[in-house]
Chain A
Amino acid sequence: MALSADEVRHVARLARLALTDAEVEALAPQLSQILAYAEQVGEVAAQDVEPTTHPFALRDVSRPDEPQPSLPREDVLAAAPHAEQDRFGVPRIVSEEG
């Protein structure tokens, strides 16, 4: 399928990518071409075929429920672009008016 510029903007919003108009214009034909190629998978009759996500079909994997050491908090926060009061700092998410 061919993606319009507006559809590209919609997908970019879902993907949290602030694209410029020039990027949107360049991406629309590129994504359309790649999708047209990838859509060949639709030619395969596979209604009754189970999908594969792992060659060994593992079942749920869990480790024994025993406490393990975590990474030191200060090491993890040291890598963050903004941290304060032992937490990651982010811009306001909820407005004060609620």
Chain B
Amino acid sequence: MVLTRLSAVELAQKLRTKDVSAVEVVEAHLERIAAIDGVVADGDVWRAVPADELTSRDIHAYLHVTAAAAREHAADVDRRRAAGDDLGPLAGVPLALKDVLTMRGAPTTVGSRMLEGWLPPYDATVTERLRAADLVVLGKTNMDEFAMGSSTENSAYGPTRNPWDLGRVPGGSSGGSAAAVAGLMAPLSIGTDTGGSIRQPAALTGIVGAKPTYGTVSRYGLVAFASSLDQAGPFARTVEDAAHLQTLIHGHDPRDSTSITDTPADLLTTLRDGIDGLRIGVVTELQGDGYEPGVRRVFEQALERFERLGAKIVEVSLPHAGYGLPAYYLIAPSEASSNLARFDGVRYGLRVDAPTAEEMNAATRAAGFGPEVKRRIMIGTHALSSGYYDAYYLQASKVRTLIARDFASAFEQADVLVSPTSPTVAFGLGDKTADPLAMYLNDVATVPASLAGTPALSLPAGTAEAPDAPQATLPVGLQIMAPLLRDDLMYRVGWAFESDLGFTPIPAGDTAVEVA
């Protein structure tokens, strides 16, 4: 029995029956991380090796591995289980946290030099809830700096590699969290999604990733990128695992003023109800030109599968979806330019000394932020500056209303909407870094649901070749979008699809994964 291959639900079952201990489960994962991730496995908190010392065989999913704290927590779970305590459903199951969520006892870097070495003085609400449920945090995962990117190549600490092909990206910005789960270095992880940063990496690494309804998961302790869009959510290798994990983190939090008091219907009770008679809407605007032939073929097969399972396929339109990406690339940078003003060299992180406060601010920010973060701050500052606000941020926010209305109309004709998650399979490291706009186009199918706030999930739909590698076998993701607060429906549809497909979310034959 290879513990790292088991799902969270399978591990939880074996922990409950005491077939394995939480300590054994943690050790199995730490051993694998030490073998394939590129960490210095030494001391209480293991560090990733520096970017210029990473080899082409290091996946580099983790920035910091909280080995001692994980072992201690696991031992505590085992003690309490032995004493007959009532533990949560996933108690003792390990997981990884994107390095954008604060957790005491380890640095939170957000993939940036700006916060290198920062030790947060408090836990994010998500972290707190996971700990209360006795999930064991293995460490903090790599990400595009401040969650800005679609490949994890914008990390100041070096890129993460895709376990399916170490020459390719895992997607982003939550690429470390996705690669940790796809590479069997954690059964579960948490990512954050602003315009697709959970769904796109899930698609590119062949796993499940979900963006919950905006407002249902607390943003307290989540280092803000674009506050009106940021939402934390689960990664897992099965739909059921993802539903369990989302259940543990959602719910109202008075410490987040955008947190809503409603919670979606229970995600687990209807999970296995099937999709007979459900109407599945294919979005006209989210297919066709711009999507790779392999992605289109797998998507067509997915629609046939839905029909075989008893669902009715209907064509629906989101007339303003084409304006989603332009609106997103005004709204998100505008909010980022405002949020990132707090990195001024005074309260935390880097400071570059200079004679005056303003020079110190500007020198600190110039040294601490990488190129993509600077680009977005510049776009956002310009878009919010005097004379441009109405044409840019305000107009984009109105387009956002129209997109939300499009979704509401579409959901009168269909119970859920589907599309390919990403227009491409995983692309090569370095392929898109020279062209920022080409990188932005990765988000074309995921951004509309972000703007509407609706829940959306990506799950593996099969594999396809890459345009630059006809023999390659790379995962293709299917996106399922549901109405606001109907997260239960996207999991139910996803579970039915997954059960019928029988996809094995483990990259067979990959050298990295051969290390059991």
Q: Mark A residues whose CB is within 8 Å of B.
A: 3, 8, 11-12, 14-20, 23, 27, 30-31, 33-35, 37-44, 46, 49-56, 58, 61, 63, 71-72, 75-76, 78-82, 88, 90-93
Contacts and interface: CB of A to CB of B under 8 A. Distances in A.
Contact of B377 (A15, A18, A50, A61): A15
Interface string B83-114: 00000000000000000000000000000000
A54 B381 contact: no
Contact of A33 (B344, B378, B437): B437
Contacts of B349: 79, 81
B323 A40 contact: yes
Nearest to A49: B398
A16 B365 contact: yes
B398 A14 contact: no
B302 to A, nearest CB: 27
16 contacts: A16-B362, A17-B377, A31-B375, A31-B379, A33-B437, A34-B440, A37-B437, A38-B327, A41-B327, A44-B323, A46-B399, A49-B398, A55-B452, A56-B215, A71-B121, A90-B360
Contact of B402 (A11, A40, A49, A93): A49
Contact of B257 (A3, A14, A27, A61): A61
Contacts of B369: 17
A80 B347 contact: yes
Interface in B482-516: 484
A17 B362 contact: yes
A61 B358 CA distance: 34
Interface residues of B, number: 73
Contacts of A56: 215, 260, 453, 484
B228 interface: yes
B337 interface: yes
Contacts of A37: 325-326, 329, 437, 440
B320 A44 contact: yes
Contacts of B350: 81
